[in-house]
Amino acid sequence: MVRADASVCIKVLLNATVAHFGFRLTYRRVWLAKQKAVAHIYGDWNESYNELPRWVLGVQLTMPGTVAVLRTSPVRVGGQVDELQAYFHRLFWMFPPCIEAFHHCKLLVNIDGTHLYGKYGGTLLVAIAQDGNSNILPVAFALVEGENAESWSFFLSHLRQHVTPQPGLLVILDRHNSIKAALEAPDGGWLPPTAYCAFCIRHVAANFSLTYKGKDARRLLVNAAYAKTEVEFHYWFDILRSEDPAMCEWANRIEYSLWTQHRNEGQRFGHMTTNISECVNSILKGVRNLPVCSLVRTTYSRLVELFVCKGREAEAQLGTGQQFSQHLVKCIETNLKTARCFTVTLYDRDNSEFTIAETTPTGAFSLGSYRVLLSNQTCDCGHFLALHFPCPHALACCAYSRLTWQPYVHQVYCLSFVFSVYRMGFTPLIPEGFGHHTMGQ
């Protein structure tokens, strides 16, 4: 069972032993047995730490540009430092295709940590990007002792230096004090205008629920956060205030630009949460249960699979002559279906400024009016700026003036951009022991 899925939980194994052998073991005995099974399949837990530097060196020789920063702590024997031994402390690593990929992804990165379930624990820190087709892509990793200011500073400094040096980058994070401290360091390169921060609304809502119970209150807070206009935000916020003014006071202690979409000026691309859980489940499933070297090695093999699979998908779509990602095409199709009950008024000769009157299909009732500025790529509904492609109102303006809507789409949604994310492939690694065998000959 462990060979089939290293993330199989102890409860499942416990029930399996009862069903197969007819007696119930203690939770700890099954946990210990699982660690032995993992070691049998993936290598000894202790030896894995010795194997790690050798494997990293092999990757760096095979794929120049691979970054691996290993930190160790000294071993003390009787008060003296043993120069021949060292303890594993931290490791940051990333691969060249991921650096190249990030140049063609949205200018934002999600960061989060997830606990390891192996014999020695620890925490896996991950930075996650997203391409224009809504595919998530881990771009950098770190193994650390836990989530503290020093470990996050170690991860974020190398992430900024090697993977995400672009100006104006947005980083989406939880409200962990250690992350905030690392990002606010004067020399870290993560302060405005070089970089900006935004909070994951899932974490904000979870903290909110610790003080204010009830799903309805939490839902109102989340709806306010997702609102794309100030009017919509205050609609939900006023309902929340009517429930309990203290709830709004709690939310007002957090700067609006950090947790609301309407104050973010489109930097979020509509992303309100970190994607760590989705990433671990879909790409890195099971790695949290592996010995350290197997964990690092698995990130390489899983990324190889991801780049091949998503690269083929994008290439096949390009072959059909399609210009934009499937995600964008679906969104535009949905918006086009909506853009039928509008009255458009043009206000300038440059086909740039419009007003849109929205009505019911019969025209009996008005649903509101909106200003659309195509030159600024904004609409009063907020969707154009937030998502970086035309909303139904902008599409109606384009149709009215016989303009194509394609120039108003952000380049990250172009299929050529999506394909460029996965253009650089990985290199087959030299088989383990190959170099030693050759040298022996």
Are the C-beta atoms of 406 and 323 separated by less than 8 Å? yes
Spatial separation of the C-alpha atoms in residues 111 and 109, rounded to whole Å: 6
pLDDT at 155: 97
DSSP state at residue 199: E
Residues 218-267 pLDDT 10s:
999 999 999 999 999 999 999 999 999 999 999 999 999 999 999 998 99
User: For residue 34, which of 60, 62, 57, 5 has the smallest C-alpha distance?
Assistant: 5
Label the pairing between strands 342-346 and 353-359. antiparallel
Cα distances (Å, whole numbers) of residue 422 to 101, 191, 247, 400: 6, 30, 45, 38
Residue pair 184/154 in contact by the 8 Å Cβ criterion: no
Q: In the block, which residue shows the tokens 């009016």?
A: 369
Q: How far apart are CA 199 and CA 80, in angstroms?
A: 45
Q: What are phi and psi of 274, to 5 degrees?
A: -80, 155
For position 416, what pLDDT does the model report? Answer: 95
Tokens of 236: 């939900």
Q: Which residue reads 């099974």 in tokens?
A: 37
Specify the pLDDT at position 165: 93
CB 354, CB 159: distance < 8 Å = no
CB-based contacts of 283: which residues, under 8 Å, 6+ apart? 136, 138, 302, 303, 306
Edge-to-edge strand order for the sheet containing 342-346?
Answer: 342-346, 353-359, 366-373, 378-379
Count the neighbouring beta carbons within 10 Å of the beta carbon of residue 300: 16
Encode 275-293 in three state secondary structure. Answer: CHHHHHHHCCCCHHHCCHH
pLDDT for the residue numbered 431: 65
Q: 47-89 pLDDT, tens per residue?
A: 999 999 999 999 999 999 999 999 998 888 877 888 778 889 9
Looking at residue 187, what is its pLDDT?
A: 87
**Both structure tokens of 16:** 């399996």
Task: Let me know how long the chain is.
Answer: 441
3-state SS, one letter per residue, for 78-139: CCEEEEEEEEEEEEEEECHHHHHHHCCCCCEEEEEEEECCCCCCCEEEEEEEECCCCCEEEE
Supply φ then ψ for residue 391, to 5 degrees: -80, 175
Whole-model pTM: value is 0.89
Report the phi/psi class of residue 401: left, alpha or beta, with left for phi > 0 and alpha for psi in -120 to 50: alpha
How many angstroms separate the CA atoms of 313 and 327, rounded?
13
Indicate the domain borders of the chain: 10-42, 45-309, 326-413
- The answer to whether 228 and 253 have CB atoms below 8 angstroms apart is no
Among all chains, which residue has been given the structure tokens 């595919």?
Answer: 135
Torsion sign, CA atoms 302, 94, 160, 126: positive
Listed as ranges, residues in the chain with pLDDT below 50 are 434-441
In angstroms, the CA 300 to CA 432 distance is 15
The reported pLDDT for the residue numbered 440 is 28
The encoded tokens of residue 211 equal 């003080």
Strands 378-379 vs 80-94: parallel, antiparallel or unpaired: unpaired
> pLDDT, tens digit, for every residue of 330-359?
999 998 887 668 889 999 888 899 999 987
Q: Give the per-residue pLDDT at 275.
A: 83
